[in-house]
Structure 1
């Protein structure tokens, strides 16, 4: 005999009526309450701060740590930017963009007339100062800016490019060079060495016919103060 199927059981409805679904708002992700434009502004300022850190560090060493009074050389205030439109070229006449000089400290010399014994002494000093920096020498390049009305002999060019780390030798119009770098009152450009920071800003000028040992101390202070962020090579 076949068993009878059990009778269906009616499920009673809740006393309050049919079941309903309640929709609750989802929790907002962390940070969604920050105004997007405001957050973008903070991000922009952070990027600018990171980019400016090398410059801030370099001048902190001189101005905040009170090295101004102890520096042998003249600190340039305000600093003077390398003109982005300065027309530069190699000795062979190939154009060079001014922006290409940025990214490295530049110990710069300007032979403002036919290179005599005084000029050769300054070029020798420029070469020796870089070597005397020891492990920090690769953070500093030698730059020679030759006015367009000055000629160097083949032997002088060889002295610039054939001994140790070669100098970057470029030509430019005299008025363009003199519009950026300046000699001390009563002196010529060729009597000084000029220091340009990695952002292309002229910041320091040696005294006329400088004492190499004293100028070396200024360079060492600068390299030491910026050792944490400044890496060798352009």
Structure 2
């Protein structure tokens, strides 16, 4: 073939090829950007549902699938960037004599302590659902200074409160300890227990998550 004939490409086809190439590059760049933005959520799902042995089974907690996104506007303390153990209890009913409430606070505190050097990656949140003052004796053992337990009020805005209550109580988990990942989204729930064996299993669940997943954290 004559060299000159190799250059006889219609201009419209040349322009179309260039446009198509730029479009492909733009789509690839957009997909890469979306993957970077979504990486904390993807990592959480991968940790829970792919890496866990025996098909995603846990030692004690119940996996939440699909994960239930948390709206940071609901509470005054941000949950994004931290692993959070959250419980909701009315302070007016939570006294030293109320074993159910104290067991929940104790379990959260001891789980965080059991994480050792990794404990700074876990925050504890108590949603005071009735707005009453907490029992002074309870605060001595379970306030932010003594136990790292942050006490917050539920949303005051009616719309936000309805949304938060629905998220909290979904699938009957309102009285459970709820684990929120750094994205933030509820990924697991734990029943309150006073069994040493069950506490050990809960600790193993949280330890495994902290070991396998550092994505999206803000320490």
Q: CA deviation at 1:180?
A: 0.9
Q: Deviations over 1:58-90 (max 9, x none)?
A: 22122113543244211111111113553x3xx
1:142-164 Cα shifts (integer Å, max 9, x gaps): 11112145542233334322314
**Aligned-partner Cα distance in 1 for 2:26–2:130:** 48
Task: Give the equivalent residue in structure 1 for 2:174.
Answer: 189
Q: Who is 1:103 aligned against?
A: 81
> Could you say which residue in structure 2 is the equivalent of 1:209?
193
Q: Distance in 1 between matches of 2:19 and 2:41?
A: 35
1:24-39 to structure 2, matched below 5 A, reads 35-39=21-25
Distance 1:78 1:112 in 2: 28
- Report the equivalent of 1:51: 37
Q: Give the Cα separation in 1 of the matches to 2:121 and 2:64.
A: 21
**1:99-141 alpha-carbon deviations (Å, 9 max, x no partner):** x321111011111461123212211211110111122212111
Q: CA deviation at 1:214?
A: 1.0
Aligned mates of 1:118, 1:66 — CA distance in 2 = 31
Alignment RMSD (CA, Å): 2.7
1 or 2 for the larger relative contact order (CA 8 Å, sep ≥6)?
Answer: 2
Q: What is the distance in 1 between the residues matched to 2:163 and 2:110?
A: 28
Q: Helix, strand or coil: the match of 1:213? A: helix
C-alpha distance in 2 between matches for 1:156 and 1:220: 27
Structure (1 or 2) with the larger CA radius of gyration = 1
1:219 paired with 2:193, answer: no
How many residues align structurally?
Answer: 187
Counterpart of 2:109 in 1: which secondary structure? helix
CA distance in 2, matches of 1:232, 1:122: 26
* TM-score, normalised with respect to structure 2: 0.72
Q: Which residue is equivalent to 1:171?
A: 153
Segments of structure 2 that go 5 or more residues without pairing to the other structure are: 1-17, 156-160
Pair 1:63–1:216, CA change in 2 (3 A): same
TM-score (norm 1): 0.68
Q: 1:84 to 1:108 in 2, by over 3 A?
A: closer
Higher helix share: 2
